[in-house]
């Protein structure tokens, strides 16, 4: 017979371990992206995501200079790290800055808004203020609501 109490305890333990690994990877990626962004003169980054219908994706990454002009994301590699949780881009070679920003966004969503892609999904963006090393995840949760009314006649 399966002991559901033990199954749930094991599940919660694995989830706690994964959360710790995800947070470690988030911290690594935060530090790894700041240098290359600052060196390129980028002051702000907005990584937009959208999820609905049991799917979701990072859809756009915009980088801005001090005058808030859009500039391309530099094509530079970030510091090597052995990721266990982050979605890494497929292919050979080092993790590039754009891929690191995507991975950071997915990790933040998993860590702070699990299920962001389910049903009506969520949308928003990860905003990075480079000079202040400030990272903010803006997430709008969508849902279908309805009102029921019963009237006796």
How far from chain centre, in Å, is Cα 150? 43
Instruction: Give the chain's largest Cα–Cα span.
Output: 72
Give me the pLDDT at residue 143, please.
86
Eight-class DSSP state of 126: E
Strands (E), 12-143: 44-52, 55-64, 70-71, 122-129, 134-141
Instruction: Please provide the average confidence, as pLDDT, over all residues in the chain.
Output: 90
pLDDT for the residue 62:
98
Integer CA distances (angstroms), 36 to 13, 63, 67, in order: 36, 12, 18
Tokens of 28: 């690594």
Range of the domain at 126: 4-141
- Convert the pLDDT of each residue in 35-87 to its tens digit: 999 999 999 999 999 998 778 899 999 999 999 999 999 999 988 777 777 76
Is residue 150 assigned to a domain?
no
| pLDDT (0 to 100) of residue 129 | 98
Has residue 94 got a pLDDT over 80? yes
Residue 50 lies in a domain: yes
Residue 48 lies in a domain: yes
Residue 72's pLDDT is 96
Residue at 146 is within a domain: no
* CA distances for 86 relative to 18, 35, 128, angstroms: 11, 20, 18
Name the domain count of the chain: 1
Any domain includes 152: no
Residue 133 parent element (H or E): none
Is 147 a domain residue? no
Q: Within its chain, how far is the Cα of 16 from the centroid?
A: 18
Asked if residue 149 belongs to a domain, the reply is no
148 within domain boundaries: no
């Amino acid at each position: 017979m399966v002991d559901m109490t033990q199954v749930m305890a094991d599940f919660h333990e694995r989830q706690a371990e994964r959360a710790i690994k995800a947070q470690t990877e988030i911290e690594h990626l935060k530090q790894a992206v700041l240098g290359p962004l600052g060196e390129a003169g980028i002051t702000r980054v907005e990584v937009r995501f959208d999820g609905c219908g049991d799917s979701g994706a990072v859809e756009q990454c915009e980088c801005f200079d001090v005058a808030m002009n859009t500039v391309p994301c530099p094509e530079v590699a970030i510091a090597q790290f052995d990721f266990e949780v982050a979605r890494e881009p497929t292919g050979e070679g080092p993790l590039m800055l754009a891929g690191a920003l995507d991975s950071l966004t997915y990790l933040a969503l998993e860590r702070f808004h699990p299920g962001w892609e389910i049903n009506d999904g969520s949308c928003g963006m990860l905003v990075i203020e480079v000079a202040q090393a400030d990272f903010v995840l803006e997430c709008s949760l969508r849902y279908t609501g309805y009102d029921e009314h019963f009237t006796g006649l």
